[in-house]
């Protein structure tokens, strides 16, 4: 089964050539001196590219130096459209974007399919944008890789961390958490909320509500897993929709955060 793109033409260009050109432009905005770090995990935003593409591009550009070694991406994002208990795998064995198809990593899926918090839900993935919008960036930077896509519903940080631990692997495995920050606040209020949220993440303190980040649950799980491995977060970029595309009355906040270094 193939999971076709659901938000091509809305969140990002539907034409493959234009999409590659758009993503490449965002990646090239990153400073060359930022490239080459050994990244294990990223937190990146998932809005339309006109709003969050520049922030996301700063994070994905960090992967340039290790693109050849990454062969699997474990991608988690909040389930926005369908109630889910746990972490949902798709029924599909491939995801498609206008750039091409990505195979689901069946060996990795087999490692977690027996876990009680892991379910299968085609409905959770059918229209979910939080995972899909990351794929063109990953395709552009990494080339070939397999995918473990998980739409995260109601679960604990420990349940997320245990799934990540089962899939942690070595340098061949990258973990990506898809999340925006504050939602539809005036610019100054959003800045205050997002500053607190980012500070909590950088100090390894759990987020306590979805008003801080729609992906609070997978973020908390990643922080727990990263702490077990001695990995510390680092802020890559911050911004909001008003700064990117005008309008300060109601903005959405974005941050890119990376976890790098060797396991402790």
| DSSP code per residue over 2-48 | EE--SSBTTTB-SSHHHHHHHHHHHHHTS-GGGTT--EEEEEE--S-
pLDDT score at 34: 54
Q: How far is residue 54's CA from residue 262's CA, in Å, rounded to a whole number?
A: 27
Domains of the chain in sequence order: 2-260 (3.40.830.10)
Q: How far is CA 75 from the centre of its chain?
A: 6
* pLDDT lower than 70: segments of the chain: 31-37, 261-264
pLDDT digits (tens, 9 = 90+) for 119-155: 999 999 999 999 999 999 999 999 899 999 999 999 9
pTM of the model: 0.96
pLDDT score at 257: 97
pLDDT score at 231: 95
pLDDT score at 29: 87
pLDDT score at 37: 62
Report the candidate in 255, 258, 257, 259 with the shortest Cα–Cα distance to residue 47. Answer: 255
3-state secondary structure (DSSP) of residue 168 = coil
The DSSP letter of residue 206 is: P
pLDDT score at 38: 86
């Amino acid at each position: 089964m193939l999971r076709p793109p659901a938000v091509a033409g809305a969140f990002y260009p539907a034409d493959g050539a234009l999409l590659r050109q758009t993503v490449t432009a965002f990646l090239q905005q990153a400073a060359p001196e930022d490239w080459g770090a050994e990244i294990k995990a990223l937190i990146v935003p998932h809005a339309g590219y006109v709003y969050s593409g520049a922030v996301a591009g700063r994070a994905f550009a960090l992967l340039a130096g290790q693109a050849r070694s990454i062969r699997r991406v474990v991608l988690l994002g909040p389930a926005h459209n369908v109630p889910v208990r746990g972490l949902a795998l798709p029924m599909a064995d491939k995801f498609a974007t206008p750039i091409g198809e990505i195979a689901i990593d069946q060996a990795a899926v087999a490692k977690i399919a027996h876990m009680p918090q892991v379910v299968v839900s085609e409905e959770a993935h059918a229209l979910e944008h939080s995972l899909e919008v990351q794929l063109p960036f990953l395709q552009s930077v990494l080339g070939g890789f397999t995918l473990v896509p998980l739409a995260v519903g109601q679960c604990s940080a420990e349940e997320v961390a245990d799934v990540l631990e089962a899939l942690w692997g070595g340098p061949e495995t990258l973990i990506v958490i898809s999340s925006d920050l504050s939602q539809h606040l005036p610019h100054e209020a959003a800045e205050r909320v997002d500053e607190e949220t980012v500070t909590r993440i950088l100090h390894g303190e759990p987020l306590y509500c979805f008003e801080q980040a729609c992906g609070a649950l997978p973020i908390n799980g990643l922080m727990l897993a990263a702490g077990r491995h001695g990995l510390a977060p680092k802020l890559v970029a911050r911004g909001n929709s008003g700064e990117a595309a005008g309008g300060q009355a109601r903005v959405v906040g974005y941050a890119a955060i990376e976890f790098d270094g060797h396991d402790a």
